[in-house]
Structure 1
Amino acid sequence: MIRDLHPESDLAAVAAFLDESADYWLLADGHAPGPTAAAEFFTDCPPNCDPAASRRLGLFVGGRLSGLAELAFGFPVAGDAFLGLMILAPRMRGQGQGQRLLAHVESLARAAKAPALYLGVIEANPRGRAFWDRHGFRPTGVTRTDARNTFHRLVKAL
């Protein structure tokens, strides 16, 4: 089941999920998610996007939160959709659940009449990059580097 998540009822489940999926944060940030990470999941979004218009999604398998996705609208330009985060619990990776969650995200973006779905992938995550490539995402040529990572923006026409 995939459903919208709400901070009032799902904060503890998101916090537990982030702890379970700390391997991604270690790769991306060099440290496990902190105590405020679950609350930030419900408020973070790209520049010029309305957090209230973003979709915070949970993939549940066997009644347990097993994946997260955050879909925002209006970045990089008005009308576009941006997948700010999509992550599966380590126990779920390689089982086709990522494809299932992505298909749901794409259907929401199409329903919002977004012409394209954008995302960023860190260079240090070749497995993630391969997933996006397999599902039709292509480089935009936009790359950003910070002190820890190089980010590549990808896009898929909807």
Structure 2
Amino acid sequence: MGEAAIRMIDPQADLAAVSDLCLRAADYITLETGAPPDADYAANLLAEAPPDLPSKDVFAFGAGRAGRLDGVVTCLRNFYAQGEWYMGLLLLDPAARGAGLGACMAQHVFSIAQGQGAVCIRVAVLEANPRGRAFWERQGFLHERLVPADPEGDGHIRHVLKLDWEA
């Protein structure tokens, strides 16, 4: 993939670029939600967080080249507990998949999390996305627990995976 610049996403200034990426990555969004992204998807993606988590602990990073956003990863700091991080979504343009960008972005987040004293990081992977689970396992994540499908929710079974940095 070459070197992609990874930077913090500004939810307002970068909304159009994130929206464009969501349209290009509609295959994953359709898998997750059952429909292509609507006009509000990108804004909701960048703002989604538990109500009791301070906004300073909710952020995203983007990566791309030549002024185009090829990937975005959302992060929650101090979730579920102090010193624990959670990556909500790593979304990549289909043209950028399989070329190392996802691993580069994940390592970027790991480095920042560890630099801020994180003891672990988690992701939740849809059971319907075995390639996604294999990707996270290649990054060193281990299965922590299964979250059954919520009949009131999107109907997906999720696998929570954890990368532990504690000795």
Name the TM-score class by shorter chain.
over 0.9
Shift of 1:51: 2.8
SS in 2 for 1:117: strand
1:3-41: CA deviation from partner (whole Å, max 9, x where unpaired): 011123111111111111010011111101111112112
Partner of residue 159, structure 2: 152
Is contact 2:78-2:84 (8 Å) kept? yes
Aligned pair count? Answer: 158
Shift of 1:49: 2.2
Shift of 1:47: 5.7
Unaligned runs of 5+ in 2: none
Q: Select between 103-112 and 37-46 the one with higher mean Cα deviation.
A: 37-46
Partner of residue 58, structure 1: 62
1:100-136: CA deviation from partner (whole Å, max 9, x where unpaired): 0010010111112110001100000000000011111
* Counterparts of residues 66-81 of structure 1 (less than 5 Å): 66-81=70-85
TM-score (norm 2): 0.89
Task: Indicate yes or no: 2:104 matched with 1:100.
Answer: yes
1:70-98: CA deviation from partner (whole Å, max 9, x where unpaired): 11112222220000111111000010111
CA distance in 1, matches of 2:13, 2:138: 34
Amino acid at match of 2:39: P
Among 11, 22, 25, the residue aligned to 1:21: 25
For the structure 1 residues 128 and 101, does the alpha-carbon distance in structure 2 shift closer, same or farther, using more than 3 Å as the test?
same
CA distance in 2, matches of 1:112, 1:96: 25
Amino acid at match of 1:149: H
CA distance in 1, matches of 2:51, 2:123: 13
CA distance in 2, matches of 1:65, 1:28: 21
Amino acid at match of 2:59: R
Aligned-residue identity in percent: 35
TM-score (norm 1): 0.93
For the structure 1 residues 129 and 52, does the alpha-carbon distance in structure 2 shift closer, same or farther, using more than 3 Å as the test?
same
CA distance in 1, matches of 2:81, 2:146: 14
The RMSD of aligned alpha carbons is 1.4
CA distance in 2, matches of 1:51, 1:137: 26
